[in-house]
Structure 1
Amino acid sequence: MSFNLRSVALAAAVLLFGAAAHAAPVVKGPEHGTLIIAGGGKLGPEILGRFINLAGGPSAEIVVIPTAGGEAKYGPDCDCLKIFKELGATHLTILHTTDRKEADSEAFVAPLKRAKAVWFVGGRQWHLVDSYLSTRTETEIHNLLARGGVAGGTSAGASIQASYMVRGAKAGNEVLMAPGYEQGFGLITGAGVDQHVTARHREGDLDALVKAHPDLLGIGIDQSTAIEVKRDSFKVLGAGHVFIHDGKEQPNGGHYYLLGAGDGFDLTTLTSTAKR
């Protein structure tokens, strides 16, 4: 029997490429620090209180970024501060600009260099991209985590934390994947994060994301629910569910399964460590 070495090599390459293309996502939380990624709606003390505790308590310096809300200016009376004040937080700083040059300045990022925590308010993700992506502001957010701090956010402030940003289209949040607005801050990598899942009937939406991008894990989060992410795992906080989209067929007919409050998830093995 004779062998065509070129054909054998080509077939091997195709097999290797196919295996690589369908390899499991590599998902990682921050090397240091913690993320609180919330699905919108009313957030209870089990979520916001946890965020404040991770920051170091009510006296910790917390930066609040309301830019996703789309307003030109935010003052000290901003509603975005109310939820933290109600839980006793006393050192709150609003950081906001629509000017990328300002966002890239040393003066603007000074509060982030002092802070123990940063919170991204909800709204539309693309505002955060237009203002902060690839600026010193984004760099200092990563640096804050490297110091062992905590970054959190809800709704748009959840999706921006992932390496793949869903629903970034300026045309509307019905568009799941929007060319030009698909890159988030990458605080958690190898994943895309959706929010308001049950309230907006988005249960199966991330199936399309993991089909188009099999190198990503889809994480959908209900309102009043959050995940607390460390380097190689997360746990679920709050009242609703977290939807894990891994591309594998599930009994529900989709490619997702549910986690509830207290459940954990191993980012290395991509398996749940459910409490029940």
Structure 2
Amino acid sequence: MRISKYLKMLVLCLVIVSCGSNNETEKNTPQKAEVINSAKGKLFIIGGGKRPPELIKKLVEISSFKKEDYIAILPMSSSEPDSAVYYASKQFLDLGISHKKIKGFNFSKDSLPQQWLDSLEKAKLIYISGGDQTKFMEIVANTPIENAIKSAYKNGSTIAGTSAGAAVMSAKMITGDEFKHPVYTGDFRTIEADNMELVEGLGLVKNAIIDQHFIQRMRMNRLLSVALENPNETAIGIDESTAIIVEGDSATVAGKSQVIVLKNKASQIIKENGLLGGDSLQTQVVLPGGKFSLINK
């Protein structure tokens, strides 16, 4: 048993090697890739927290993963990218996937190796770790990395992400910062106008905004604020150990908890004395196995 444990550690170390820095830089100036509605791939968006083995097994199953396929892990959200690759890899290894089929690519602004980009575009499953979604997008936005992710999704790959890796799926991305309360506490005590910061995300989910750790961290005020100020978007709060599987314009809930869906049917944004109001919010609490539409009409 001890030998088996050491061998497993060695395998994981081999996976992490590819996550290290690489001095070769691709200097092409990319044109921004757009995801079309007919993308052949799926999205597997996890709300953070613990990832039960059954959830990761479901991810591999919906990806239609075959022997010739491989997984690309993107750890750029994390302050400890090697650890992010290690723990993500371990869950795939525990399902019997060979370490040879798992690649970690720790891109940076100054390091965009072409061979990594080519591998990313051809990966059957791309997994984006947790951490800081703003950090991830500062590296990825408007680069060949973003193009490769979108090309893979368009051509049939599954794009997965947890926590920060869930937030980046939206075109409008929640950063977690508040303009009116700049000291971050993790508590969202108000429903105020012009408060929640939204920036550009990957835009793999059209006309929807993703929040995560949702029920566990009591983020309803945050999502209500976002929904009230973005009436054309579907606001989605995914709880921990829970995921939504997006195919086309609909999503299915998987995992252990619920997903909250807010759709603001109002034609205008209501503000008064700095506060937000509304009387046209549709609310869904979707249980595991349940489905909902991403379209807000």
TM range (shorter): 0.7 to 0.9
2:243 matches 1:229: no
Q: How far apart, in 2, do the equivalents of 1:152 and 1:76 lie?
A: 14
Q: How far apart, in 1, do the equivalents of 2:89 and 2:174 lie?
A: 26
Contact between 1:166 and 1:192, CA under 8 Å: does it hold in 2?
A: yes
CA spacing shift, 1:228–1:132, aligned 2, 3 Å: same
Partner SS state of residue 188, structure 1? coil
Alignment of 1:166-245 (within 5 A): 166-169=174-177, 172=184, 174=186, 177-178=196-197, 182-245=199-262
Q: Which has the higher contact order (CA 8 A, sep 6+)?
A: 1
2:117 matches 1:100: no
Tell me the TM-score normalized by structure 2: 0.71
Provide the residue aligned with 1:11 in structure 2: none
Q: How far apart, in 1, do the equivalents of 2:146 and 2:226 lie?
A: 25
CA spacing shift, 1:77–1:209, aligned 2, 3 Å: closer
2:257 matches 1:257: no
Per the TM alignment, residue 58 of structure 1 is displaced from its structure 2 partner at its CA by 6.5
Partner SS state of residue 220, structure 2? coil
Query: Match for 2:42: what amino acid?
Result: T
Query: Match for 1:188: what amino acid?
Result: V
Per the TM alignment, residue 225 of structure 1 is displaced from its structure 2 partner at its CA by 0.6
Tell me the TM-score normalized by structure 1: 0.76
Contact between 1:125 and 1:168, CA under 8 Å: does it hold in 2?
A: no
CA spacing shift, 1:76–1:39, aligned 2, 3 Å: closer
Partner SS state of residue 57, structure 1? coil
Query: Match for 1:100: what amino acid?
Result: K
Contact between 1:204 and 1:254, CA under 8 Å: does it hold in 2?
A: no
Query: Match for 1:67: what amino acid?
Result: M
Match of 2:45 among 37, 40, 48: 37
Structure 1: runs of 5+ lacking an equivalent: 1-27, 271-276
Partner SS state of residue 210, structure 1? helix
Partner SS state of residue 126, structure 1? helix
Contact between 1:58 and 1:87, CA under 8 Å: does it hold in 2?
A: no
Query: Match for 1:84: what amino acid?
Result: F
Q: How far apart, in 2, do the equivalents of 1:239 and 1:150 lie?
A: 21
Query: Match for 1:70: what amino acid?
Result: S
Contact between 1:29 and 1:229, CA under 8 Å: does it hold in 2?
A: no
Q: How far apart, in 2, do the equivalents of 1:221 and 1:107 lie?
A: 34
Query: Match for 1:263: what amino acid?
Result: G
Q: How far apart, in 2, do the equivalents of 1:199 and 1:261 lie?
A: 16
Alignment of 1:41-190 (within 5 A): 41-57=49-65, 59=67, 60-71=69-80, 74=82, 78-90=86-98, 91-97=101-107, 99-103=108-112, 105-169=113-177, 172=184, 174=186, 177-178=196-197, 182-190=199-207
Per the TM alignment, residue 29 of structure 1 is displaced from its structure 2 partner at its CA by 6.4
Contact between 1:236 and 1:260, CA under 8 Å: does it hold in 2?
A: yes
Q: How far apart, in 1, do the equivalents of 2:38 and 2:205 lie?
A: 6
Structure 2: runs of 5+ lacking an equivalent: 1-35, 189-194, 267-279
Contact between 2:63 and 2:157, CA under 8 Å: does it hold in 1?
A: yes
Provide the residue aligned with 1:21 in structure 2: none
Q: How far apart, in 2, do the equivalents of 1:153 and 1:164 lie?
A: 16
Q: How large is the Cα RMSD of the aligned pairs?
A: 2.7
Q: Figure out how many residues of one structure are paired with residues of the other and give that number.
A: 235
Per the TM alignment, residue 211 of structure 1 is displaced from its structure 2 partner at its CA by 1.2
Provide the residue aligned with 2:18 in structure 1: none
For residues 34-54 of structure 1, what are the alpha-carbon distances to aligned partners after superposition, in whole Å with 9 as ceiling and x for unaligned?
A: 000010111224421122123
Per the TM alignment, residue 89 of structure 1 is displaced from its structure 2 partner at its CA by 2.0
